[in-house]
A and B are shown apart, each in its own frame.
Chain A
């Protein structure tokens, strides 16, 4: 197995106040697999992703990537943040170039790094806006640039924290299609957090459903037996798709209903 989340517990402690957020999370992800994590708000999805990214440390357990334990952040686990987090003082090109320069300063020449930056902007169709600043492009475009920046690092694992959460439905569908095409083309290993049942079923090979906090854990894992490439419109009437969708909905709204003040 490629990426292993091994018995991860997380307890936040401030003073005498302890919040147990995650308990006993174990998950194996294969190379090239697209895994979604779905669960109610506040159950600890972002916390789990941050632990995999190395931005937060697990209280117990750990993350093993290609047989080696990782406990600090690095470009091998590139993150696309929910709110794009592009640096507003850099142009679109420079935002991606910063990552490219940092990762490939030894292995690629200047010209190669320039070409690689443009290549990744081209993957998300953003070359036309390369000299604009983040404030001058739309939300969907920013998210594309965030994805290009992450892809440009050639990460072993791509971590997406609700990458389309802040977008309107149309832009969202459009970006989902782009991400699907990119995954088809590049075969990255992806771990994506989402709130959206359709998004999870459409994009993933497996859907990991988390129980409610506190002390959330993995409630169920659903295989999505749909062949790639998938077509949004054709899926709507596909029995397998409908079954998966129903299973996730059932998990979220029957077995683990969102409880106020959990």
Chain B
């Protein structure tokens, strides 16, 4: 029996419920033998089921790509060329020859710093504003239509205005991250606050919790799953926006690195950067999910 199948069956029965923590541990493998061996066997099986299939698919795709791009008329380099062209960049991500001639590590970390700053501000302001909008009917009536309009403005449309206001690339890029990722955080937080069950409000009323206690004992834990949904969408959007914004503002950063590679026709470097951008975006998403599952442990409906 295959383990992923077992897991799917198990979660399939509780579709509407958020998966309880530790659901995975319910899956028992019918392996006999000594416990250590059993554990090792289970680990190997998990690794095999999770790693082998994507590996096979990647190998297949690389093969097709290699075939398609190896003839002389191809506009894009095949994987073997990409590898040869970018080996240096891959193995030495830390070089720094001044200016923007730096290793990929420095470009990525510059982008990540901008995202971290803009996103942190968006998270703080978004949760605060979302709480206000969710809590007060008047704030909702006044602010919600404005939010609904502003959130549809594409990130890059903010950039010229942002540049005009800050007159510098760095703060302008951070502002674009901020303004891009704040909307889902505000809106989801507000929904979470508005959805606090009347029961919990009644408990707070009977216990006479003061506003501060109400905020961190009822509101935050109750709305946490919603808040984290917003935070997760937000981190994805900020990573989307940073690459585009950096292409325009220049300086150190993965976005400008890609643009620079295009200008100097280093297509292989573009491809390598795309892979890195994808991996970093994936890791950012996983980090938010991990934090969320730690923080919201137990907030699933009882």
Residues of A near any B CB (own CB < 8 A): 53-55, 73-75, 77-79, 81, 83-90, 98-99, 102-103, 133-135, 142, 153
The listed residue (B207, B208, B217, B301) touching A88 by CB distance below 8 A is: B301
Report chain B residues within 8 Å CB of A86.
Answer: 302
Q: Which A residues touch B200, using CB under 8 A?
A: 85, 87
> Could you tell me the distance between the alpha carbons of A73 and B205 in the complex, rounded to whole angstroms?
6
Q: Is B280 an interface residue (CB 8 A)?
A: no
Pick 25 A–B contacts, CB within 8 A, sort by A: A53-B206, A54-B205, A55-B205, A55-B206, A73-B202, A73-B205, A74-B206, A74-B208, A75-B206, A78-B206, A79-B206, A81-B203, A84-B302, A87-B218, A87-B222, A88-B299, A88-B301, A88-B302, A89-B224, A89-B296, A102-B213, A103-B207, A133-B298, A134-B302, A153-B207
Instruction: Report if A133-B302 is in contact (Cβ < 8 Å); known contacts: A87-B221, A98-B217.
Output: yes
| B93 at the binding interface (Cβ < 8 Å) | no
- Of B200, B207, B209, B297, chain A has the most CB atoms within 10 Å of the CB of B207
Interface 1/0 per residue, B208-222 and A, CB below 8 Å: 110001000110011
Pairwise interchain contact A75-B207, C-beta atoms closer than 8 A: yes
CA distance A83 to B202 in the complex (A): 12
Give the interface of B toward A (CB within 8 A): 20, 197, 199-200, 202-203, 205-209, 213, 217-218, 221-222, 224, 296-302
Which residues of chain B are near A87, meaning CB under 8 Å?
Answer: 200, 203, 217-218, 221-222
A99–B207 CB distance below 8 A: yes
Among A55, A85, A99, max chain B CB count under 10 A is at A85
Q: Hey, which chain A residues are within 8 Å of B205, CB to CB? A: 54-55, 73
Q: Is the CB of B299 within 8 A of A89?
A: yes
CA–CA, A133 and B222, complex, Å:
15
Contacts of A54 in B (CB 8 A): 205
Q: Which residues of B contact A55 (CB under 8 A)?
A: 202, 205-206
Q: Contacting B206 at CB < 8 Å: which of A77, A133, A134, A142?
A: A77
Tell me the nearest residue of chain B to A155, going by C-beta: B206
Q: How far is the CB of A104 from chain B (nearest CB, A)?
A: 12
* Chain B nearest CB, measured from A77 CB (Å): 7
Q: Which of A79, A90, A98, A142 contacts B202 (CB 8 A)?
A: A79
Cβ contact within 8 Å between A89 and B298: yes
A99 to B300, CA, bound (A): 21
**Chain A residue contacts of B197, Cβ below 8 A:** 85
Identify the closest chain A residue to B203 (Cβ). Answer: A85
